[in-house]
Amino acid sequence: MTLHAALPPLPQDPRLGGIIKLAVLAVGGQGGGVLTSWIEDLARGNGYAAQATSVAGVAQRTGATIYYVEMCPVSPRPPVFALMPAAGDVDIMITSEMMEAGRSIIRGFVTPDRTTLITSTHRALAVSEKMMPGDGIASSAEVMAAAEIAARRLISADFDALAIAQGSVISASLFGALAASGALPFPVQAFEAAIMAGGKGAEASLRAFRAGFEAAQSPVGQSPVGQTAPIVPAAAIAARGPAHLMAQWQTLTARVLRLPAQVAAFARPGLQKVVDFQDLAYGAEYLTRVESVLARDTSPDHGLTAQAAKYIANAMAYDDVIRVADLKTRASRQSRIAAEMGVDSAKVMHVTEFFHPRAEEIIGMLPARLGAKLDASPVWTARIDRIFNKGRRLRSDGLTAYVLLYALSGLKSRRRRSFRHAQEQAHLTRWLDTALGYLPNHALATEVVKCRRLIKGYSDTHTRGLSKFDRVLAGVALVAKREDAADWTRRLREAALQDEAGRALDGALQTVASFS
């Protein structure tokens, strides 16, 4: 076998020197096609030959559509354009959000010798991020750091928020950033003319264009990576209602103020959550549980009670059919959906809900004694499951379905006598007793309290969470006498949050079993 030395790089073809290569990465609903059309029209309207192509992604968040534009001045000899971008051969890369910017860097489209990267700093979570049982959100800061190294020039801002504020979509604000970058040899007026030629919605698009233009030009107008909406202090949350109910609410909030500051920071939003879930009496029960933990918490910073205040509220405000129906019939939800869909007086909005409750959810709404009997009967469980196993599609914008959901939400007054509530209360008590049983090891007790994070969601998700919770606590019992028991509890919990199937947890439990 003969080894040959690497061939020297080929010199760049001078005939390609005038071709500008631009790629856009966007998902459905972000106007990537419109943005590409504007760019193509802009080039042709200013004496350039241009070609635009696109390759659709697999799904909404498993792959963006790649739009690609090549352009060059018109010449007697027609140019031959490529159909797809190539690694290391892109002059301008426009991405609709941070993770798309990361994908463009990984694929080699962004290079420090030539590429201007224009990206929005907001996030549209990928399916893989949403599927994680724990916090699967990738770090936008890491992408930004990579972009600053990989790109010749980086322009970033929350172009999505800028567009929404102007009643438009992100394609218009990104087009403004492209104009501000100076990467294309066309005046701003030519960009605006391309938008105006689109006709309908041009005014809103122009406003978003100008907002994006200004943000790209001024660093002050750019949004820092990872910036979120400001957190409203708990004390600023206002409640409204009849005078007699407000008096009870003030009594509860006074109890919160008597708690240590570290605990009150969690107890106030926790109280708000459980009262919204049920009623004021339920809020009083919540504070009683928090106070009972505080009575046994001798740590200087009351960290055990602070975490308990957070997770007791989550445990008491569990998801059930009643809760789901309540949330789906709230006026605030309809308003939010209408705003997201851009509904106005000239449009009609249809909202279809998909319900597929399992037998456990139906039995859970029944009175505790009856529910317990049915739950213990495989025959009745199977019968109920057969009735609902096909699921139901309900048009909640219509009267019939809305009244049905509203009636279900009205069962809130009977919830505390239901079988599901009895189950949740019993589990909550066992969990707290287990955690406090590890005192005076406050670190271990706190980590066990945090394990309540594993239980969340509705239906199958809730069942899987319960299973992982039980397995983690079984593992904790094996290491409870070790000096590093708290650390191992944290490791087991984090392993349980790594994947839905629980493979990481299986491995962690095997490790624990090997030295127990």
254 part of a folded domain:
no
* The predicted structure's pLDDT at residue 50: 93
* The predicted structure's pLDDT at residue 202: 85
326 part of a folded domain:
no
Cα(10)–Cα(25) distance, integer angstroms:
29
187 part of a folded domain:
yes
Question: Given CA atoms 381, 384, 390, 394 in this order, what sign does their dihedral have?
Answer: negative
- Average per-residue pLDDT for the chain: 85
Lowest mean per-residue pLDDT among 123-132, 149-158, 476-485: 123-132
Asked if residue 99 lies in contact with residue 138, where contact means CB atoms within 8 angstroms, the answer is yes
153 part of a folded domain:
yes
* The predicted structure's pLDDT at residue 226: 38
Confidence band for 1, pLDDT divided at 50, 70 and 90? very low
Confidence band for 238, pLDDT divided at 50, 70 and 90? low
| pLDDT, tens only, 422-432 | 999 999 999 99
Count up the domains in the chain and report the number.
Answer: 1
Phi, psi of 327 (to 5 degrees): -65, -35
Cα(27)–Cα(4) distance, integer angstroms:
44
Q: What's the mean pLDDT in 132-148?
A: 75
Q: What's the mean pLDDT in 114-143?
A: 75
With a CB cutoff of 8 Å and minimum separation 6, the contacts of 62 are 126, 127, 128
* The predicted structure's pLDDT at residue 14: 47
Question: What does the angle CA 251 – CA 252 – CA 253 come to, to the nearest 5 degrees?
Answer: 95
**Cis before 219? omega within 30:** no
Cα–Cα distance list, 314 to 7, 390, 490 (Å): 63, 30, 19
What CATH number is given to the structural domain containing 115? 3.40.920.10
* HSE, side-chain direction, 13 A CA sphere, residue 419: 19
3-state secondary structure of 358: coil
Q: Which helix (H) or strand (E) holds 52?
A: strand 48-55
* The predicted structure's pLDDT at residue 456: 86
Instruction: Give the percent of the chain with pLDDT over 70.
Output: 87
229 part of a folded domain:
no
Asked if residue 95 lies in contact with residue 119, where contact means CB atoms within 8 angstroms, the answer is yes
| pLDDT, tens only, 250-268 | 999 999 999 999 999 999 9
Instruction: Give the percent of the chain with pLDDT over 90.
Output: 50
* The predicted structure's pLDDT at residue 65: 85
441 part of a folded domain:
no
491 part of a folded domain:
no
Confidence band for 394, pLDDT divided at 50, 70 and 90? confident
50-64, 125-139, 369-383: which has the highest mean pLDDT? 369-383
Token pair listed for 189: 């007026």
Confidence band for 12, pLDDT divided at 50, 70 and 90? very low
Cα–Cα distance list, 283 to 151, 192, 430, 496, 509 (Å): 53, 56, 20, 31, 37
Query: What is the extent of the structural domain holding 112?
Result: 17-221
Confidence band for 15, pLDDT divided at 50, 70 and 90? very low
| pLDDT, tens only, 266-325 | 999 999 999 999 999 999 999 999 999 999 999 999 999 999 999 999 999 999 989 988
Beta strand residue intervals within 342-405, DSSP E: 352-355, 392-395
| pLDDT, tens only, 60-112 | 444 678 899 999 998 888 888 989 999 989 999 999 888 888 889 998 999 99
| pLDDT, tens only, 395-414 | 888 888 888 888 989 999 99
Query: Is residue 123 pLDDT above 90, yes or no?
Result: no
* The predicted structure's pLDDT at residue 58: 57
Q: What's the mean pLDDT in 343-364?
A: 82
* The predicted structure's pLDDT at residue 277: 94
More confident residue, 417 or 459: 417
More confident residue, 52 or 61: 52
* The predicted structure's pLDDT at residue 6: 45
Query: Is residue 505 pLDDT above 70, yes or no?
Result: yes
Lowest mean per-residue pLDDT among 179-193, 222-236, 376-390, 462-476: 222-236
Lowest mean per-residue pLDDT among 50-54, 340-344, 367-371, 380-384: 340-344
Q: What's the mean pLDDT in 425-448?
A: 95
429 part of a folded domain:
no
Name the one residue in this structure whose structure tokens are 């750019």: 222
Query: Is residue 376 pLDDT above 60, yes or no?
Result: yes
| pLDDT, tens only, 199-217 | 667 888 999 999 999 999 8
Query: Is residue 3 pLDDT above 50, yes or no?
Result: no
